[in-house]
Every structure is written in structure tokens, then in C-alpha cells.
A and B are shown apart, each in its own frame.
Chain A
């Protein structure tokens, strides 16, 4: 239908409403750092789900700690620590239905835990042992078709257009699902973010964009990542509602994501969620944050710890006692230690995986190169030369 672009007029009030400035600038929060409810209305969440949120965050933190240790032990090539950011992964994931898909990034172990991927599978992947479903071609990333989690990407934000394309596929197929993608504040500077929001905005696709704003993209602070007043306002230009939530408040992340998923499934289009959090650790195990930020800053941010805050809430509300919380922690701590022992004792992948899965079939060049490798293996054996 033809529409004269010069005929449409908005009043200033309309424009302000359109900008939804309050939501995109303020900070939506349900529990404060002392575990008290600050929102007008506390969401009605069943106790089981609250417990799931808690154990998922605890398990994520324990596993994260182990991955850090395993990297120092030389068992894992690289790790991107999740500590302090567990509420974003866990809150957003648990807000979805089981048919919804997630396109996470490499700092989202909580997504896998909350979706029911076992610690063993995550460790196998990160160690790249014989049981690694990704067969040792890339580090830190993971995905699981069974759990409807797409593989994360190492180039930052490259999964954003994939999530949008996937949502377009669901729309064409008539499948009513939501597609959630998570990425860091640094990813908002890359083209894929704008391309993804633009496309989703035009076609009103069922996508939830979650910016895990942890304040740092390696050494570059969020304020050097954008001139915008917040990251959530970036939705405005694409006609995508933006909401800024306390990303260290698992209930706030959960509630906002739940609402966004409902919008997506109802055909109301995409939503942008800025989850404000803080990266407590380094960017990866190859990074040294003392070179660019003060220990005072990190210390000051500790009082916002998402797990400590949620524990206070659970105790305040009488869901769990301090003793019960400790028991849950100890139980998982022991379990995961056992799993770690099991995973590091599994044998490595065979060298021939290098030649696998490059194409759907092995073309002559790789056949020739595989043969070349086998010949070199003979020589290595004969001469007693060890490689690796």
C-alpha cells in the first residue's frame, strides 16, 4: 500500500512514548543487593523454579571455577570466566519454553546448565577429549542441537544474524517459537548487531536480543563502546522496545525475558534487553585485567554479586535456610569435582579429526593430505620422534 512519507505526523508526546525512554534508561530491578524486593510487584514464581535458578547459578559458578583451574593445569586451552554474570544466562534461559532456541556467546555456561546440558558434556567439550561432541576444532564455544542451543561464535556477535535468520525460518515455517541471542556490550559495536536489529525490526521477527553489558570488552570500557546514554536505547531506532534491567538480579532478567518471549510468540516482534552486569574476572584466561582497571573498582562491584543477593532473598522470603543453601553448594561442589576427575581421565581425540567434517564428503585434497600424515606417522614411529 502506498503511503506518502511526508504525511505522517507525530506529536511530541507520541515521540516520547515511542522512545520508551523510561524503560530504556532506568534500571528494572526486583531484588536489591540486600535481597529485599524493590519492584512494585514481586513476580509469582513457583518455589521449584526459584530453586532451579539458584542451583543453576551455583553449578555455573563451580564449573566456571574448575574451567579456570583446568586452564592453569593445561587441560583446557582457554576459558572466558563467567563469575558474576550467572544471573543473565540463567534468568534468560529459564524464561523460555523448551521449544525456543538460544544463540549464546562464549561467556554463557549458565545457558547450558539451565537448559539441562550436563557438566560432563560441557567439560568434555572444553577439554576437547575423545567425548567432545565438537571434536576439538575450536575452544570455549559450545552448542547442542538436542537442547536447542546454537553454536556460539568466536568472532564477537557473529551469531546475531544467525539468530535472526533462524527466527525468520521459524516464521516462514509457521512455528511459534522465540529465538533468544546473548552477546556482550562489545558486540553492539559490530555490524552484525545493527544488521540483526534492523532485519528483525523490519520483519517483526520473534527475536530477543540480550546485551550482557558486563562493562568491559577486554580492556575497553562500555563508555568507549558507545556514545548512547544506555545500550537499551539502541532499540529505538529499529522500532524495537528496549529495556534496561539489573543483570545481577536473576528475577529481573527472568521477568523481562519472559515478557519478551511472550511478545515474540504472540507475533509482537523483537525485544532488546540490556542486562547490566559486571565482569568480575579477566576477559579470558589470556587476559590480565590489572593492566587496565583498579582493584577498588572490582571490590566495589562485589556487593552486587548475583548469587549472594539471591541467597539473601531466598533466606528473607523463607524459601531456604542458610544451612540448606550451604548443603546445596557442598553437594554440587563434590559432584562436579568427581565429574572433573572423570573427564580429565578420558583419552584425547585422534589426530584424524583434523580431516573430518570439513565438507560433507572428503575430497581428494584431504585424502592426499591424510595419506601424507599417515606416512609421517610411520617415520615418527621409526625414528622415535615425538610430536606434541
Chain B
């Protein structure tokens, strides 16, 4: 089995899906000859030609709006937004049109597009190359939002997104595009939408997280284990909406303690939703307060990004707080 990083795994997923289904089309800025600024679409133009790998003019609204039209025609467009920070120009097309096409037409028309984009911080990208805007999409009925944390998942999740009949926002944490390598099968497999995974088993605390924060959370969990023999379970949501509530509940039955970690700002982030869900449906399982470790409610900074983002120390502190409650 070949060893790959996330960029290569995503490239393989696109390639396999384009071979499998002639309706799959890739479009975006620089996706053709350049192969995407992060090279996720590298080599696709050579293999599939200009009609299936389309370099668009510089317009996020156009990329999404045109992808919607392609989907209405019957294609399966996979649109690349070069950095998720630039998606806001396309916001109206995403939330008013793609997300609502099925609902507003009673199912007569649908717009099952995939919007892929690098997201999140950790690469000294400053304000407009580091954001985590997943909450906007999760809040919008009609959209599925996903974020992988490792190459194996990235391939299976992107394939599921492409085969989905609903529009999918597929966020790729760019800080782990190339830093994690693992075996990725060169065969067809799917990570189903809505299914999370237990990354590390534990019995005292549950950390629910996703994306690059999975790895930071595991490190914090290991530190807590080493220091205090606290056993921390780490759950990678993979699909942010609809999130895997059963996996969280099952874990809480064991641990009774919940920490949610994400890079996005705290207020009304996914952590708030998960905390509220548990408070409403499973408060009896809790032995301590739900704690969120998140990005601060401030614009992502150019300086001190490691301090802005959740880090091992902040997660460790949260574990300590909930264990000593």
C-alpha cells in the first residue's frame, strides 16, 4: 500500500472519481496547468482534458454559481476555492442557491456540488489565509460540512462527498496537507457522511474535535496520561454536520466528561452546538462542566498564531479543570 500525504490522497480521490464517473468535473482558479496552488488537482488536466478540468476567471461567486448550473445540467462539479477565506463573495450562491435548490423546488431541481477549500491556521497565513468559517455552513440547512484529519480519511471522505446528492463543503486543514503521511489504499473505499471515529480510546474524559486539532488533542491526551494517568478518549468528527451524535453519546456514557476543541472562534461555534445538544439530551451523563477550547473571538492574527489556536497547554488545562471539578 503506498504511503501518501493528504494532498496526494485527495488527488487520488479526484482521479479515481473522475475515471469512475464522466460527470465529475473539476473547476476553479489555477486548477488546470498549475494543478492548484497546493497541487491537489495536479495532473488532472493532462489526464482528463480541458472540458473536465476548467480554469475559471478569478471569481469565487462565479465558480460556485457556474458549478450550480453545471450540477443542474447533470454534472458533478467539484469546485476549488483557493483559500476558504475568499469564499464570502460566493456566500450568497452557497447559502441561498446551492443549499436551497432542493428545498425551494420541492426536489424538482438539486445542486449537488462539492466545494473544496484549504482552511484553518498554523502555516503563518495571517488573517485571510487561516480562517475556520465552518459554523456559517453548519448553520445553513441544506449543506453538509466535512473536514478530514488524515490522508486515509481525506480520500474516503472526498469520494463520499462527490457521490453525495447534497451540496458538500469540504474543508482541508492546510497545516496537515503534507505533515502527516500514512498508507492509503489505491482502491475504492468510502468514509460515510455523518460517521466519526475514535482516534484514541479512554475512560475519563472525551475530547470531541476535528481537522488538525485531532493531532494536538491526542498529544494533550498523552500528556495527561503521562502526568496523571488520566485516560482521555479523542473523537474525530470528520463530518461536522450532521455530526455523529451517537459516537459522542457512547463515549460520554463511559467518561462523563466532555471537552470540545476547534480552531474556529468560540461564540456560536460547533462546540456551542455540541454542548447544547448534550445539555438538552444527556445532561445526566455529565460529571463536570462541558469545556470548549477554541480560537479566540478575535480575527486570526499574523503574530502569535500558535497562541491564538488551541494548543497542547490549553487542552491540557481543560482536561485538568474537568478532572478536578
| Complex contact B73–A169 (CB within 8 A) | yes
Quote the shortest CB–CB distance from B279 to chain A (angstroms): 15
**Complex alpha-carbon distance, A160 and B97, angstroms:** 12
CB pair B102 A360 closer than 8 Å: yes
Alpha-carbon distance between A172 and B71 when the two chains are bound, in angstroms: 12
User: Is A134 within 8 A of B62, CB to CB?
Assistant: no
| Complex contact B65–A359 (CB within 8 A) | no
Q: Does A138 contact B (CB under 8 A)?
A: yes
Chain A residue with minimal CB distance to B280? A368
Q: Are B69 and A172 in contact (CB under 8 A)?
A: no
Which residues in chain A, 345-365, are within 8 Å of chain B measured between CB atoms? 353, 356-360, 363-365
Q: Which residue of A165, A173, A199, A356 is within 8 Å of B57 (Cβ)?
A: A199
Interface residues on A, range: 35 or more
Question: Are A137 and B73 in contact, with the CB atoms below 8 A?
Answer: no
- From known contacts A158-B92, A357-B107, A364-B245, infer whether A169 and B75 are also in contact, taking CB-CB under 8 Å: yes
Chain A residues contacting B25 (CB-CB under 8 Å) are: 172
Contact in complex: A132, B106 (CB < 8 Å): yes
Residue of B61, B67, B73, B75 touching A192 (CB-CB under 8 A): B61
Shortest CB distance B241–A (Å): 8
A191 CA / B62 CA spacing, docked (Å) = 9
In the assembled complex, the Cα of A160 lies from the Cα of B75 at a distance in Å of 18
Residue-wise interface mask of B (64-90) relative to A, using a CB-CB cutoff of 8 A (1 in contact, 0 not): 111111111111010000000000010
A88 to B93, CA, bound (A): 26
Tally of chain B residues near chain A (CB < 8 A): 48
Asked if B104 and A363 sit within 8 Å, CB to CB, the answer is no
Closest to A365 in B: B242
- Pair A162/B106 contact, Cβ less than 8 Å: no
Give the residues from 52 to 67 in chain B that come closer than 8 angstroms, CB to CB, to chain A: 52, 54, 56-57, 59, 61-62, 64-67
* Interchain CB contact under 8 A, B242 and A161: no
Is B109 within 8 A of A145, CB to CB? yes
- A164 at interface (Cβ–Cβ under 8 A)? yes
Main secondary structure of the interface of B (DSSP, over half): mixed
* B101 on the A face (CB < 8 A): yes
Query: Which residues of chain B from 235 to 258 have a CB within 8 Å of any chain A CB?
Result: 242, 245
Assess the A151–B108 pair: CB atoms within 8 A.
yes
- A24 and B150 CA atoms in complex are apart in Å by 56
| Residue B179 at the chain A interface, CB threshold 8 Å | no
Residues of A near B72 (CB, < 8 A) are: 150, 162, 165-166, 169
Whether a CB of chain B sits under 8 angstroms from the CB of A133 is yes
Please name all residues of chain A whose beta carbon is closer than 8 Å to the beta carbon of B96 when the two chains form the complex.
Answer: 153-155, 158
Given the known inter-chain contacts A166-B73, A364-B245, please indicate yes or no for A151 contacting B56, CB distance below 8 A. no
Q: Evaluate contact between A202 and B57: CB separation under 8 angstroms.
A: yes
Query: B144–A359 contact, CB under 8 A?
Result: yes
Q: Render A140-168 as a binary contact track against B, CB cut-off 8 A, 1 for contact.
A: 01011100001101110010111111111
A144, A158, A199: the one contacting B93 at CB < 8 Å is A158
Contact with A along B13-49 (1 / 0, CB 8 A): 0000000000001000000000000000000000000
Residues of A within 8 A of B92 (CB): 155, 158
Q: Is A135 an interface residue (CB 8 A)?
A: yes
CA distance A151 to B102 in the complex (A): 10
6 contacts between A and B (CB under 8 A): A132-B106, A137-B100, A137-B104, A166-B73, A191-B89, A358-B102
Known pairs A151-B109, A165-B67, A196-B62 / 10 extra A-B pairs, C-beta < 8 Å: A145-B109, A150-B109, A153-B96, A158-B65, A172-B51, A172-B75, A199-B57, A359-B166, A360-B102, A364-B242
